[in-house]
Structure 1
Amino acid sequence: MPLLDVRNLTIELDTAQGRVKVLEKVSLTINPGEIHGLVGESGSGRSLLAKAILGVLGPNWHIVADRMMWDGKNLLEMSAKERRNLMGCDMAMIFQDPSGSLDPVKTIGSQLIEAMMPNKSVPFWRRGRDTYLNAQKWLHKVGIKKPKQLMKCYPWELSEGECQKVMIAMAVANHPRLLIADEPTNSMELNTQAQIFRLLSQLNQLQNVSILLVSHELEIMVNWCDNLTILYSGQVMESGPASAMAELPYHPYTRALLKNLPDHTQKMRHKTDLPTLQGSSPSMQHLPAGCRLGPRCPEAQRKCVKQPNLEQNKGRYFACHFPYQSEQEDDDAIA
């Protein structure tokens, strides 16, 4: 049974220009112990989807879904108290804006200890000291060189990268079953990024923690994730195993993202332009009819003014009227 099963999730926001549909019929399935990547440009709705799963909703949000199941339980039918208990124990999220997610009038140590669950196997008169030492341990694991001194600091005294490490320590300290990481290595140097990825990999392999990794760095996602979901302007373009999508992308948008990756095995002329899609992502107030990639898609035809259905082929899902896999199958049949 999947740990998380979301079917046809739609999110609408009330704005000054009226109600805007920012996510449209998005489906996502995460199995226990799986690392699932959520890829897309800025404004594609990745963070909104992550917050909807966690239950961090705004007052102007309107959510409709066929189902949102967590370990066999319906998230849409849970009370606010049940969602908070789930959020603090089984689900955790590393937010994209770490400095804005921390309380500026409380020390790092007090916030970290408050977020951690005390170990009930330890006698009650030792739990305070045990939690304090455990907080220092997690700060050291995420790359803080002097955790004891940092616990006395306030968030406004830290850099953006240090705040990000504190948020990661808060998220992983309670050993959640699902960790949602929204750009977890943003504003970090390369050696610290590698350390964070090693920590997440250890949590996944040793403690069977499922991870939903939100990022726009497709090269890292392909090498690190088991499955990928590609979002564009609030719609799912393609979903499936990461290795299969990298080898043979079905959707034109997925192929464009893969072509945009630099190829270090071949020589390139100085200042050579990388192959990219023409144009830019549409605004949510002026979305095109049908497939939202249509105005930029190199394979677009008249039929694309109708929204394509999400089709399945050998464990792969794609929403396109003219997928590349049909051409590949024709070539294989001729051969």
Structure 2
Amino acid sequence: MLIDIRNLSIYADTPTGEVRVLDRVSLQIEEGEIHTLVGESGSGKSLIARAIMGFVNPLWRVQADRLWFRGIDLLNLTAKQRREIIGVDIAMIFQDAARYLDPNTTVLEQLREAILDEDVKAKFGQRTKAKNDYARNLLLKMGVKNWQQVLESYPFELSDGVAQKAMIATAIAHRPYLLIADEPTTAMEPTTRAQIYRLLAQLHSKFDMSILLITQDLNTIMQETDRITTIYCGQIMETGSKERMLSTPMHPYTDALNYTSLLQTEALQPRARLTTLPGLEPTLQRMPKGCRLGPRCPYARKQCIDRPEITVEKDYAYYCHFPMRANQKAQKESQS
């Protein structure tokens, strides 16, 4: 097991008191797996990534039964020990790459900083040249043909797609075990998005690198995704294989995400209304009790004020008192 998270909760201070932003989240990522985490804005998906990386607000309280990376308890590491893992064995790329790259230094300088001496294995006087060659090869692997121009450029001089490729090159310089991609293609054109996803798939295949892809909807998942996990308002809803989650999900939230995806709306007639969940997401200060989807769920009942326990069946798991299979059965019985 590469990543093993059990009952991760993160508490934030608000004017009305402490709020549980992440509510007992559990997530497992296998070695060599592409795992996609899907949720709307504010669902807490990026906060899970930041908890793995150790980027959580120091004023917030982090609590977990287990937050392990390759058997190492990340919560018990010192700051120095955590830094030895982050950026080397675990790397992260963000949306709007030009914003996260240093605007005051060239791409070459930033790549050289990311490349460790042990990566080039050159003598002291030859390390600079060796790192320059390594940086060039990294960009070539990213599919950057005008690598010389890109190496000499500052981040703000690059297009969105090239800047993202430069950030990926920086992240994988040491060939990490896990690459976290936090909405890496947001606001990109479809062709550029396809290039970035194709690149990530090639890295996964070539280096057997695990990838945690974070996205807002099911339209932007990678074709090579092995498993999908859905999250809503800090609670995990469901996790399972890509095929299962896209065809026969058990949780109403995953089902709603499927119906709002482009794949399902292509058959809509002109001027027809899009299928969406009723209501609005709750604010941090007014989180519902029990299942946080309850006020918006068409199948919610009184029992939903208690948070459902996990139900595990073969290759998938979900948190729901009234899963889709039971709801569909009840509807058929009522019609008959």
Instruction: Give the TM-score normalised by the residue count of structure 1.
Output: 0.91
State the distance in 1 between where 2:70 and 2:103 align. Answer: 35
Whether 1:14 aligns to 2:13 is: yes
What residue in structure 2 maps to residue 154 of structure 1? Answer: 154
- What is the CA-CA distance between 1:143 and the residue it aligns to? 4.6
Matches within 5 A, 1:123-142: 123-142=123-142
Could you say which residue in structure 1 is the equivalent of 2:66? 67
Cα pair 1:33 1:204 within 8 Å, conserved: yes
Whether contact under 8 Å (2:95, 2:185) holds in the other structure is no
Number of aligned residue pairs? 331
Q: Deviations over 1:118-171 (max 9, x none)?
A: 334333333211211221232344354422223233333344444323211111
Q: 2:216 corresponds to which residue?
A: 216
The corresponding residue for 1:35 is: 34
* Structure 1 residue 279 displacement after superposition: 1.6
The answer on whether the counterparts of 1:3 and 1:70 sit within 8 Å (CA) in structure 2 is yes
Name structure 2 gaps, 5 residues minimum: 332-336
Residue 57 of structure 1: CA displacement? 2.4
The within-5 A match list for 1:58-97 is 58-97=57-96
Assess if the C-alpha contact under 8 Å between 1:32 and 1:210 holds in 2. Answer: yes
The 2-side partners of 1:267 and 1:249 are apart by 20
Partners in 1 of 2:30 and 2:239 — Cα distance?
14
Which residue of the partner structure matches residue 225 of structure 2?
225
Query: Are the aligned partners of 1:222 and 1:246 in contact in 2 as well (CA < 8 Å)?
Result: no
Q: Between 31-40 and 311-320, report the one with greater CA deviation.
A: 311-320
Alignment partner, residue 109 of structure 2: 110
Provide closer, same or farther for how the CA distance between residues 140 and 205 of structure 1 changes in structure 2, counting only shifts above 3 A: closer
Shift of 1:32: 0.6
CA distance in 2, matches of 1:144, 1:61: 40
CA distance in 1, matches of 2:12, 2:263: 40
Residues 247 and 71 of structure 1, relative CA distance in 2, 3 Å threshold: same
Alignment-derived partner of residue 192 in structure 2: 192
Q: 1:283 to 1:143 in 2, by over 3 A?
A: farther
In structure 2, the CA distance between the partners of 1:109 and 1:125, relative to structure 1 (3 Å rule), is: same
Matched, 1:49 2:48: yes
Q: What is residue 25 of structure 1 aligned with on the other side?
A: 24
How many Å separate the matches in 2 of 1:127 and 1:136? Answer: 14
Residue pair 2:36, 2:212 contacting (<8 A) in 1 also: yes
Seq. identity, % = 45
Match runs of 1:221-260 below 5 Å? 221=221, 223-260=223-260
Q: Distance in 1 between matches of 2:268 and 2:48?
A: 38
Give the match for residue 315 of structure 1: 315
Contact map agreement 2:96 2:184 (CA 8 A) in 1 = no
1:291 aligns to 2:285 (yes or no)? no
Query: C-alpha deviations, 1:174-217, integer Å up to 9, x for none?
Result: 21101101012234333332222222112222221111110123
CA 1:222–1:298 in structure 2 vs 1: closer, same or farther (change >3 Å)? farther
Write the distance in 1 (CA, Å) between the matches of 2:47 and 2:77: 19
Instruction: Tell me the residue number matched to 2:202.
Output: 202
Q: Which amino acid aligns with 1:24?
A: D
Q: Take 1:176 and 1:93, find their aligned partners in 2: how far apart are those partners?
A: 10
The AA in structure 1 aligned to 2:80 is K
- Indicate how the Cα distance of structure 1 residues 267 and 153 shifts in structure 2: closer, same or farther if over 3 A, else same: closer
SS of residue matched to 2:284: coil
Q: For structure 1, which runs of at least 5 residues remain unmatched after alignment?
A: none
> Cα gap change, 1:72/1:283 in structure 2, threshold over 3 Å: closer, same or farther?
same
Query: Does the Cα contact within 8 Å between 1:8 and 1:67 map onto a contact in 2?
Result: yes
Partners of 2:142 and 2:198 in 1: how far apart? 10
- Looking at structure 2, the residues matched to 30 and 327 of structure 1 have their Cα atoms a distance apart, in angstroms, of 30
Equivalent position SS for 2:203: helix
Contact persistence 1:161–1:187 (CA under 8 A): no
Q: 1:189 to 1:125 in 2, by over 3 A?
A: farther
* Structure 1 residue 296, shift from structure 2 partner: 0.7
CA contact (8 A) 2:219 2:263 kept: no
Structure 1 counterpart of 2:239, one-letter code: S
